[in-house]
Chain A
Amino acid sequence: MTEAVQANPLRAGRLGLAFSAGLVFAAGLVLSGMTQPLKVLGFLDITAITKGPFPGMWDPTLAFVMGGAVCVTLLAFAWTQKLAAAPLFAHQYHEPAVNRIDMPLVGGAALFGAGWGLAGYCPGPALASALLSVDALIFTGAMLLGMLICKTFLSKSAKISN
């Protein structure tokens, strides 16, 4: 392990940076209340907006979280590549290659939305609270199983179509 790190200083940097990014991400999720599924469900409960003066019983918290996050990423994705030709600990930026709006995108997002609305957990908050809440742990276990099932199925169908 020590030898591998010495042989490749990039590797230690990559792992340290990835771990730090995970920590900061978790801090943001916890601070913003997104690890509390009731707050997420309160945002998705849009019809509550009619109950009383605006915003009624609707909880707009998630919109502020998303707004704060996207303000940063708008700047980040507009400027990082102009200021740094290559990432600190990698040779290139891995831009998502797919731009299609297709059935897997919409169908997948719809299934995800249904699961999100049922429990109030999306993948980040579920993982970040998996060691604190039994609910999150059970949800995360089922989520990991669903991911493996879908990965296996997709790789099989890709082999058939090739």
Chain B
Amino acid sequence: MLANLHPYFIAAIGGILIGLASWLLWWGLGRIAGISSITSEALAAPTHPDTWRWAFLAGLIVGGCLLGQGLEIPTLPTRPLYLLIPAGLLVGIGTVWGNGCTSGHGVCGLGRLSLRSLVAVGTFMAIGMVTVTLMRGAA
């Protein structure tokens, strides 16, 4: 069924699901669905008695694992460690320092009409585009 739909349409449906998940967390727990904040706060206080962060992360990881297999995501070529490790460190440090990522500042922050989030999204999109362009030049 899905295969007959235009890929952009499927992408928008996926986006709507992401928006609905964010709404669910706001309506149910009054929390912003910011993946980087949820992850880093769970890591920083792993034994905190309120374990909703771990429950959310478990859903995200288990869901990604089960559904990712079901939809037969193409396996990607393994990329070098000297690229993946610095990239992961930058994302980890940057999202904690800047207080959010694509979900917290992007999906939720833009939905809340937060100027702060708009600045963050503009910045990480622009730097991401510059980085890809530079990498393309270097390759």
Q: Which residues of A contact B (CB under 8 A)?
A: 13-38, 41, 44-47, 60-62, 64-77, 80, 84, 86-90, 92-94, 96, 98-101, 104-119, 121-135, 138-151, 154-155
Q: How far is the CB of A98 from chain B (nearest CB, A)?
A: 7
- CB contacts (< 8 Å) of B2 on chain A: these are 31
Instruction: Check A21–B76 contact: CB distance below 8 A.
Output: no
Q: Which residues of B contact A (CB under 8 A)?
A: 2, 7-33, 35-36, 39-40, 43-44, 50-53, 55-65, 67-69, 71, 73-76, 78-79, 81, 83-99, 101-103, 105-108, 110-116, 119-121, 123-133, 135-136
The 4 closest A-B pairs by CB, nearest first: A108-B98, A146-B92, A22-B59, A73-B111
- CB contacts (< 8 Å) of B90 on chain A: these are 111-112, 114-115, 118, 146
Which partner residue on chain A sits nearest B123 by CB separation?
A: A109
Instruction: Check B27–A147 contact: CB distance below 8 A.
Output: no
Chain B contact residues: over half helix, strand or loop, or mixed? helix
Instruction: Check B64–A29 contact: CB distance below 8 A.
Output: yes
Which has the most chain B C-beta neighbours within 10 Å: A15, A25, A110, A133?
A25
Contact of A149 among B12, B21, B92 (CB under 8 A): B92
- CB contacts (< 8 Å) of A125 on chain B: these are 64
- CB contacts (< 8 Å) of B124 on chain A: these are 109-110, 112-113, 116
Instruction: Check A98–B64 contact: CB distance below 8 A.
Output: no
How many contacts A-B (CB < 8 Å)?
Answer: 473
Given contacts A22-B61, A89-B29, 14 further A-B pairs with CB under 8 A are A13-B28, A18-B28, A21-B56, A30-B14, A33-B14, A35-B64, A71-B19, A80-B23, A93-B26, A108-B94, A111-B90, A119-B84, A127-B39, A131-B61
- A19-B58, A61-B8, A142-B84 are known contacts. Are A109 and B98 too (CB-CB below 8 A)? yes
- A26-B64, A28-B18 are known contacts. Are A90 and B43 too (CB-CB below 8 A)? no
Contact of A93 among B11, B30, B39, B52 (CB under 8 A): B30
A-B contact pairs, 7 of them (CB 8 A): A14-B55, A32-B11, A46-B129, A132-B64, A145-B88, A145-B89, A146-B96
Instruction: Check A17–B111 contact: CB distance below 8 A.
Output: no
